[in-house]
């Protein structure tokens, strides 16, 4: 199939597949937990951080199209944005670091 549509077609198909899987999983989990409403709090803030990162990387790409510039910008920018929009807190980070490596 990839031969017919190329790598861009494969990428779009992967995106559509992930949307279907995420939507179906969310629906099943929502039903199993009998949730009346969904609070997008942290998830919504993480989505906002991701969208802001897209904008920031688009601006950086205007200056330099090099992966050597874009990759560090993303690696530094996304955690900073997660903290900035409060999708991640220092307490969350402490909990993750305290857990250590899995056995």
- Confidence band for 84, pLDDT divided at 50, 70 and 90: very high
Query: pTM, whole model, 2 decimals?
Result: 0.62
Percent of the chain whose predicted confidence (pLDDT) is above 90: 56
Exposed e or buried b per residue across 77-99, where buried means at least 16 C-beta atoms within 10 angstroms of its C-beta: bbeebbeebebbeeeeeeeeeee
pLDDT tens digits, one per residue of 68-82: 999 999 999 999 999
**What is residue 34's DSSP assignment?**
T
Per-residue pLDDT for 102 more than 60? no
77/71 Cα distance (integer angstroms): 10
pLDDT of 37: 67
Calculate the alpha carbon distances from 38 to 21, 82, 98 in Å. Answer: 18, 20, 29
71/53 Cα distance (integer angstroms): 12
Q: Domain segments of the chain: what residues?
A: 1-38, 39-103
């Amino acid at each position: 199939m990839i031969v017919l549509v190329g790598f861009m077609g494969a990428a779009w198909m992967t995106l559509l597949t992930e949307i279907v899987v995420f939507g179906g999983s969310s629906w099943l989990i929502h039903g199993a937990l009998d949730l009346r409403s969904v609070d997008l709090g942290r998830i919504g803030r993480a989505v906002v951080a991701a969208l802001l990162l897209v904008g920031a990387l688009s601006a950086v790409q205007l200056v330099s199209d090099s992966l050597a510039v874009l990759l560090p910008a993303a690696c530094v920018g996304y955690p900073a944005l997660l903290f900035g929009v409060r999708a991640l807190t220092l307490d969350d980070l402490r909990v993750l670091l305290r857990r250590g490596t899995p056995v």
